[in-house]
Amino acid sequence: MIRHLKTARTLAERADDDAKVRVAVEGILADISARGDAAVRDLSVKFDRYDPKAFRLSEQDIEAAMAAVSKRDLDDIRFAQTQVRNFAQHQRAALQDIEVETLPGVILGHKNIPVQSVGCYVPGGKYPMVASAHMSVVTAKVAGVKRIIASAPPQQSANGPAPHPAIVAAMHMGGADEIYCLGGIQAVGAMALGTETIAPVDMLVGPGNAFVAEAKRQLFGRVGIDLFAGPTETMVIADETVDAELCATDLLGQAEHGVNSPCVMITNSERLARATLDEIERLLKILPTGEAAGKSWADYGEMIVCDTYEEMLEQANFIASEHVQVMTKRDDWFLEHMHSYGALFLGPRTNVSFGDKVIGTNHTLPTKKAGRYTGGLWVGKFIKTHTYQRVLTDEASAMIGEYCSRLCMLEGFVGHAEQANIRVRRYGGRNVAYGVAAE
């Protein structure tokens, strides 16, 4: 039996918010498409109060930003990027070109070719997402992308809006070829559509707020994207092998992302569930980001109590959360049987924050149940797998041609059939016409 000790807002209540965002984004993208740089500058002034001489950072701008970051912070960025790069290199090595002879004289193969240009968006509004630069720029670099541009909004300070030094440092150290101080819809719109001063890219990647996510959705098709992303989601699957403080901390640690971040706990212990509810209320009173986390928990938090591990698994796969932290005596069983999620965090010694910032796996992950059909950002997202074929012998061309001719005629494609017939006549010495081999 499944019991909900706490429920979240309904999908219908959330849909109205999505509709308003969609309309706003449509108008802004149309403006960027029509007016280019002028629209981008107007939007930057409107949303970020930022009106620089140029949005692209010069070498001197980058050097100044690097100088403003402490040695400890630079070392930490370097450590995190080393972990991301190392794992991405192992992933890239697993992607092999192949060439096989499937029939005598028939060669088929595929080649893994990097996307040629990528735009990486790094959020920097409420929280400067330094780690997002590692996840997108470093991973694209390992994939072999030739042109990587990166953009983040300015930080607001007492001296006015300016590039965030640590984000700029992370972009530069990660290998970005062009760095822009530009935020929101205007950033992803300019990178995808192109302007007088920004050449368009082939693909957009990186997280962002609801407006950035909607812009990527609307731009998909004109450019590729990593995935359709929504607000951060977290799930804790726990039994009595862990305590309420650990569960509550891990839920609220992700709820602080914003006021609409779903956070769900699934357990087979009602005692742990109720203790965690109490612990959440205690932590919200002392957590500096408790206002945002509390709003998320109030509107999007869920506490689900199940009788069995099988029920816990069923609920977890149905919800398909972005982050799933498993802290049970059956962690390996969940690893084996979970099929719909963004990333798994197994055991109490790891947590979502490790994955978000430093451990080496990518933190750009599917949300809104997209884990049912896609994984997160990884080096393979920047790779296109292209097939090719080669027929080496006359005999093979004629043999394949006869099958092809008949199958084309079965579908009524006479021109297709004649492409096959001409090969049969030339290489097989057979007189064929419109898919019928002469006896």
> pLDDT tens digit string along 253-293?
999 988 899 999 999 999 999 999 999 999 999 999 999 99
Distance CA 104, CA 71 (A): 62
pLDDT at position 438 is 46
- To the nearest whole percent, how much of the chain has pLDDT over 90? 89
The 3-state DSSP class for residue 143 equals helix
Contact 71, 200 (CB under 8 A): no
What is d(CA 163, CA 157) in angstroms, rounded to the nearest whole number?
10
Side chain identity, residue 282 = R
* pLDDT tens profile 166-206: 999 999 999 999 999 999 999 999 999 999 999 999 999 99
pLDDT at 361: 97
How far is CA 218 from each of CA 193, 204, 224, 374, rounded to the nearest angstrom?
A: 12, 12, 11, 19
**How far apart are alpha carbons 118 and 17 in whole angstroms?**
30
Residue 320 has pLDDT above 90, yes or no: yes
Q: 430 pLDDT exceeds 90?
A: no
Lookup: tokens for 119:
């735009």
Q: Which helix (H) or strand (E) holds 431?
A: none
Placement of tokens 């898919």 in the chain: 435
Residue 12 reports pLDDT greater than 80: no
What is the overall mean pLDDT for the chain? Answer: 95
Whose tokens are 């650990």? That residue is 246
Rounded Cα gap, residues 97 and 109, in angstroms:
7
The residues with which 234 forms a beta bridge, in sequence order, are: 263, 323
215: pLDDT strictly greater than 60 = yes
- Per-residue pLDDT tens for 56-96? 999 999 999 999 999 999 999 999 999 999 999 999 999 99
Task: Determine how many CB atoms are found less than 10 A away from the CB of residue 9.
Answer: 14
pLDDT in tens, 101-115: 999 999 999 999 999
pTM: 0.93
DSSP per residue over 419-437, as a string? HHHHHHHHHH---EETTEE
| Confidence at 147, pLDDT banded by 50, 70, 90 | very high
Least confident among 191-195, 336-340, 361-365, 433-437: 433-437
The amino acid present at 97, given as its one-letter code, is D
pLDDT of residue 125 exceeding 80: no
Label residue 439 by pLDDT band (50, 70, 90). very low
Q: Is 101 helix (H, G, I), strand (E, B) or coil?
A: strand
Catalytic machinery residues:
322-323
Evaluate whether 234 touches 321 at the Cβ level (below 8 Å): yes
Q: What is the pLDDT of residues 368-426, one digit of tens each?
A: 999 999 999 999 999 999 999 999 999 999 999 999 999 999 999 999 999 999 999 99
Cβ-based neighbour number of residue 154 at 10 Å: 21
Element spanning 433, H or E: strand 432-433
Asked if the model's pLDDT at residue 16 lies above 90, the reply is no
Residues 366-378: pLDDT tens digits? 999 999 999 999 9
In 266-384, alpha helices (H): 270-284, 290-300, 309-319, 331-337, 352-357
